[in-house]
Amino acid sequence: RKEVEQDPGPFNVPEGATVAFNCTYSNSASQSFFWYRQDCRKEPKLLMSVYSSGNEDGRFTAQLNRASQYISLLIRDSKLSDSATYLCVVGGFGNEKLTFGTGTRLTIIP
Amino acid sequence: GAVVSQHPSWVICKSGTSVKIECRSLDFQATTMFWYRQFPKQSLMLMATSNEGSKATYEQGVEKDKFLINHASLTLSTLTVTSAHPEDSSFYICSALHTTSYEQYFGPGTRLTVT
């Protein structure tokens, strides 16, 4: 079983729609959780950290369910600029290594 | 915001030669840096953890004698791909762990092509 699993997609979604991604992780001792976005041939960029209480940043909402070991990302009112690969990332505490999911490819269609 | 640079951004080399990639944290100190590799349509795979002033820790399956890592200062880590082969062609990305925020900042990556 992969340490971090995501549906690779692709998700082709019309502009303005709402889209949700899920991710599961296998290590119950994981302490830190993130969503990164990666554009083609670029480095990943942190989108948001994910907390047990859930957190929202504009059109983006992330949630963590520790009991079920899954993380979600919701994008509302999607924009063309949201087209990217979204990486679910799980880490330990402090300076422990990050484990990346394979990513979910999202394309927003005009 | 914190900035990490990598040099070169892309390199083409012949099989059997060695290539050095530099990773620098430009405006913060990083005692720990990470080296990742990403093959097309795959995710980032951690190769090794580089700690300033000590030996790097390599992930299972990564040859330490082939991928030499040196972290000689708090702002610079280097990865040398020795005796490169075409299968080493990949996108190499480093990240630097901010010593106070513990956030990882990624470099822009180095695209290596071995012919």
Contact between A100 and B44 using a beta-carbon 8 Å cutoff: yes
**Least confident stretch, A100-109, B75-84, B96-105:** B96-105
Q: Given CB atoms, is B106 within the 8 Å cutoff of chain A? A: yes
Relative to beta strand B76-81, strand B19-25 is antiparallel
Task: Report whether the peptide linkage leading into residue B108 is cis, meaning its omega lies within 30 degrees of zero.
Answer: no
Residue B106 has what pLDDT? 92
Q: What is the band of A93 on the pLDDT scale with cuts at 50, 70, 90?
A: low
Q: Given CB atoms, is A87 within the 8 Å cutoff of chain B? A: yes
Residue B95 has what pLDDT? 93
Relative to beta strand A104-109, strand A98-100 is unpaired
Residue A95 has what pLDDT? 53
> Up-side HSE of residue B102: CA atoms within 13 Å toward CB?
13
Q: How many residues does chain A have?
A: 110
> Helix %, strand %, coil % for chain B, to 5?
5, 50, 45
Contact between B109 and A103 using a beta-carbon 8 Å cutoff: no
Q: B83-111 pLDDT, tens per residue? A: 999 999 999 999 998 888 777 899 999 99
Strands ordered across the beta sheet of B4-7:
B4-7, B19-25, B76-81, B67-73
Contact between A87 and B107 using a beta-carbon 8 Å cutoff: no
Q: Which of residues 56-85 of B touch A (CB under 8 A)?
A: none
Task: Please choose, from the candidates A52, A49, A58, A53, the residue with its C-alpha nearest in 3D space to the C-alpha of residue A82.
Answer: A58
Looking at every residue in chain B, the average pLDDT score rounds to 92
User: A5 near A13, Cβ under 8 Å?
Assistant: no
User: B37 near B44, Cβ under 8 Å?
Assistant: yes
Provide, as residue numbers in chain A, all residues whose Cβ is less than 8 Å from the Cβ of B104: 98
Calpha distance A23→A29 (Å, rounded): 16
Residue B13 has what pLDDT? 95
Mean pLDDT, rounded, for A25-51: 91
Q: A6-29 pLDDT, tens per residue? A: 988 899 999 999 999 999 999 888
Q: What is the band of A34 on the pLDDT scale with cuts at 50, 70, 90?
A: very high
A92 pLDDT higher than 80: no
Closest residue in chain A to residue B96, using alpha carbons only: A95
